[in-house]
Amino acid sequence: MSDLRSRALRTAAALPVGDPERTRILAALDPMSKVAIKQETEAFIAWALQNNDRMSPSQVQRFIEKVTGNDPIQPAAAPKPKRGPLEVGEKVIVDNYRNKNSLNTDACEDHHDQVGTVDGKTVDGLTVRFENNQTAYFEGHQSGNSTGLYRWTPKADYQEGAVSKKALVELVYLRGSVRPPPQRDIDALQEYVERGMAKGEHRSDIYYTGYVGKFAYNKQGEVYFTLSSQQRDRPTSINPTKGQMLYIGYAGRRPGGWKADAESMGIVV
């Protein structure tokens, strides 16, 4: 970590959550975010984290049932994701960071995060035509790190299959069981932020707004749903059994009194 970056993180960590200067510093260190997090939203996220009121899977399920008007579908009824070799006509997205095929390095670097259609297939590889009408050849046929190509479901497809009410939801969700360290722990915060940035993550990795898509049980009997998230290009799978749902509600309808509660925690709203 550079000395400049280290000093910036320490300066941000020493400021109250929601402080405009803290928001400005973290935004400068976090250029990957697709949708900028506003100061009030950052304060809301901090409130949810410090409140640490984890919702049970059954609570989340009841909320999603209310949003969708449906029960979760059983695993047998859930549509199976397509597997096997990529075929002509399929949509794909290029991921340079996960590509492990040295023959595809240049193509993945040139077209990282671009969506295209498999336009041709040979014995050894695939030709992909991108939305700008450029084409590139990729060695291999499989979706995954062996080609750097991944099957792509356009966000619009998820939204078409989303809830009829088109209710926009907002949530604060942590994957796994490890939560970020308290803001007052400057060294831990610095390590947490730097570790996340090293993996290509950013602050909005715990905050989501979007439309609910598929709502189902997995093979283990755990309820989950997909979210066509405004913060990401790819639909996100949310499992409240494996992760920690600290808040979920309708966008624009945050709980009354959260600002006063946040201010009592020392969070600048």
Of residues 29 and 82, more confidence is placed in 82
Of residues 251 and 202, more confidence is placed in 251
Contact 118, 86 (CB under 8 A): yes
Secondary structure class of 227 (helix, strand, coil) = strand
Of residues 64 and 17, more confidence is placed in 64
What pLDDT is stored for residue 258 in this prediction? 95
Is there a domain that residue 269 lies in?
A: no
Q: In b/e form, how buried is each residue of 116-151, taking b as 16+ CB within 10 angstroms?
A: bebeeeeeebbbbebeeeeebebbbbebbbebbbbe
Q: In b/e form, how buried is each residue of 36-45, taking b as 16+ CB within 10 angstroms?
A: ebebebbbbb
Regarding whether 174 and 51 lie in a shared domain, the answer is yes
| pLDDT grade for 202, boundaries at 50, 70 and 90 | very low
Regarding whether 57 and 167 lie in a shared domain, the answer is yes
Of residues 2 and 223, more confidence is placed in 223
Q: Quick one: average pLDDT of 29-48?
A: 68
**How confident is the prediction for the chain on average, in pLDDT?**
78
Q: Return the half-sphere exposure (C-beta side, CA atoms, 13 A cut-off) of residue 149.
A: 30
Task: Give the global pTM.
Answer: 0.55
For the chain, the domain total comes to 2
- Residue 218's domain comprises 3-70+163-264
How far apart are the C-alpha atoms of 169 and 194, rounded to whole Å?
29
Regarding whether 136 and 174 lie in a shared domain, the answer is no
Regarding whether 145 and 169 lie in a shared domain, the answer is no
Regarding whether 185 and 65 lie in a shared domain, the answer is yes
How far apart are the C-alpha atoms of 39 and 267, rounded to whole Å?
11
Is there a domain that residue 241 lies in?
A: yes
